[in-house]
Amino acid sequence: MEGIKRISPQLYVSTLAASCCDAAVQLIAFDPATDFVVQPWLQSQDELNLQYGEVVAGYNLAADVGETVRFYNTDFKVAAKLEKTGMGYDNSVFMSFDTIYKLKDSEIVAQTLPKDNLESIISMLMVDVKDGVTPGVYKIDIQEAYPEDEEIYACTADDFMSGLAAQVKKLTGYGSLLTLFLVISTSLALISIFVITINERKYEFGIFYTLGARKNQVAKIILTEAAIISFVGGILGIVFSFLGITFFHERISINLDIPYLDIGFIQVLPIVLWSMGIALLAGLCAALCSVYMIARKEPYRLIREIE
């Protein structure tokens, strides 16, 4: 079909709550070469080189990298683990199609999952559409392309993540209100601090005027100081925010009940630029209030007010 950017198959096999399996989990076969859904959640962002007999364990599985897990009396080596996703992936085990076909050698599989055509079936096709294609509309196109008796069902990511999407939307709304409140309160605090600081330096600026300094020169001094303080404060705020999220992202994810996915520098850059812009703007606005207060007074008044 037109409009598809990339596509990747998956096959689901359930394990048993019995001695043949370490845990009752979902085994998911995927193609690492075409996958674009599972691998972004890897704890290590190194390239995944999944060998025959190796698996990727979900976050909740009590198996670390290098350990062995057993399903249907077949041993598999854990090659990697996923971060917490907040989805069923946390309780799943991922492997290549060649590895899942290995299960056919198990007697228990022959008894409980009699699938002679295991190599010719899949459970799901993950579809990534091209830019400009609306997933919701394309879902309908796929559904209409197949007759109803084939029992093929198309769904979008929102269908799976509707609860999570609502939670994130709600948190985003609260976050926007909190951000607005913090910007306003911080700006007012900065104005108060600058006004108090400049008020204590009236004598200094009065001397500058007496020695021949022009008002625009004094204004430039105050604005430069404010820009330097705001810039340094913005950098420190960004650094401490980054460190806080890095060290406590797991606790944040658990408390907010949302998955956490590491994002790259390109995604973070707009937030960093916005934060620096807000910091500089707030500092300069606070400084302008102080400049206005100083500029409207005569030099002798500035000196005498301190005396």
Instruction: Tell me the three state secondary structure of residue 305.
Output: helix
Condensed to tens digits (0 to 9), the pLDDT of residues 19-47 reads 667 777 889 999 999 999 899 888 776 77
Give the pLDDT band of residue 18 (cuts 50, 70, 90): low
Reading the block at residue 59, the tokens are 């976050």
Give the pLDDT band of residue 230 (cuts 50, 70, 90): confident
User: What are the angstrom distances between the C-alpha of 169 and each of 64, 148, 191, 252, 269?
Assistant: 34, 34, 33, 16, 22
* Whether pLDDT at 208 is above 80: no
* Whether pLDDT at 81 is above 90: yes
Question: Considering the chain, what percentage of its residues have pLDDT values greater than 70?
Answer: 85
Record the pTM: 0.56
pLDDT score for 45: 67
Condensed to tens digits (0 to 9), the pLDDT of residues 44-74 reads 767 788 888 899 999 888 888 999 998 888 8
Condensed to tens digits (0 to 9), the pLDDT of residues 240-253 reads 888 887 787 777 76
**Beta bridge partner(s), residue 93:** 27, 57
Which residue has 């009699």 as its token pair? 114
* Whether pLDDT at 133 is above 80: yes
